[in-house]
Structure 1
Amino acid sequence: MVRIEGGEPESALEAAVLGGANAVAVETAAGWEVIQYRSAALVGSGTWALTHLLRAQQGTEVEMRAGAPQGATAVFLDGRPARAEIGRSERGLPLVCRAGPAGAAPGGGGFREVGFIPAGVHGRPWSPCGLTIETTQAGRSVRWTPRVRLYGDGWDGEPAAVDPLRFRVRVLDGEVVVRTFEVEGSSLLYPLAAFASDFPRGPGDEARIAVAQWGEGFGWGVEASVGLEIGRV
């Protein structure tokens, strides 16, 4: 449910939404989640119900899990908002954004300014998918599939990797990190001896494996995690 100022939202065909139409950025406690909607219906004066949602678009699952409270800001990404072209070297630095009439001097009348710190989320690697753990005689075999962050949805051929195939695999017991691996590729053997050393009494319900991909100029991306199941070796 959103209260909208300005233009009215429009419903779209499913194919158009899957092609990127009807995107909205919603402010959460962890940043901005990008969602898409298929149907828009007027339910009150300036109030619309957006339904058939696609959540956590563009790798914003961290923001989705944080959730947006009632009264949060939503910005329709319909082509009118301009992209701020900010270099990697300015990520994390306090900057000032000024906006005003086109062609006017930035310090002149009609301009407003706001301070902000760019996080460079557009360069954040997405979390891997298909994370699985299999118990073997040698230990735990961990596998995952990287997601291609840019131009990965073409129909012809396999998409080219955008981010390096470098991954951090963390073994956690609750919030405590008990072991960390770095690998190049999409699989890892968690050796039986290491497993026994990390969990001499066996893993509890909060034990899990978390995998994140490295992004040049950003660092480690969003983690995918799965429970470290107990099985017969």
Structure 2
Amino acid sequence: MKVILFGASGMVGQGVLRECLLDPTVEAVLVVARSSLGQSHAKLSELVIPDVSDLTSVKEQLKGYDACFFPLGVSAGGMTEEAYRKLTYDLTLGAARTLAELNPGMTFIYVSGAGTDSTEHGRVMWARVKGATENALLRLPFQAVHLFRPGMIQPLHGIRSKTRLYDTLYRLTGFTIPLLRRMFPNHITTTEEVGRAMIEVARHGWPQPVLESRDIIAAGRK
């Protein structure tokens, strides 16, 4: 399986990249980003472009891939809906439309979040925008689209969040996460499980397009 990965420098993306590089069934990983990761691996290649939502100039380099993993996203804190939509809906759909054109047999896996609003009319801004993004992705002519809605994610293997607030919270409260996972086993997942789940779903599919935390955990443990 050949994979395209967006958001590889983020907390979830780091976990997904790690699992892809470790998995013997993943033949190659192409990271699409605005800057280089500075990593070297026999499976890994990079496509550095200034605007990851506009792939028209690099189409030839994006052909022949089996899956796209898209954990790229930003926090909605302090943002207007217009700005958040541009960095969430517009960016994601800009990339996805090109990939659907080039690789109609591709499986596209998008990370939104627990509480995403599929009606697009709820009170919570980020949930409406994520819901609109999910709905638009489902209308694209991919072989399959799967939507991951994790709740709390525990970073493992030295991975850290790029968001300062989240990173601080993880460092201060990380010791409690194993206990919380025992108390709420269907609501807290890890970066490793999310990465493993993406590979599993891309290879074998899943009964429904939306995967909540319990589904991500189940897929990640197969």
TM-score (norm 1): 0.23
Structure whose residues are more often strand by fraction: 1
Quick one: higher RCO (CA 8 Å, sep 6+), 1 or 2?
2
- Structure with greater Cα Rg: 1
TM-score (norm 2): 0.24
Structure whose residues are more often helix by fraction: 2
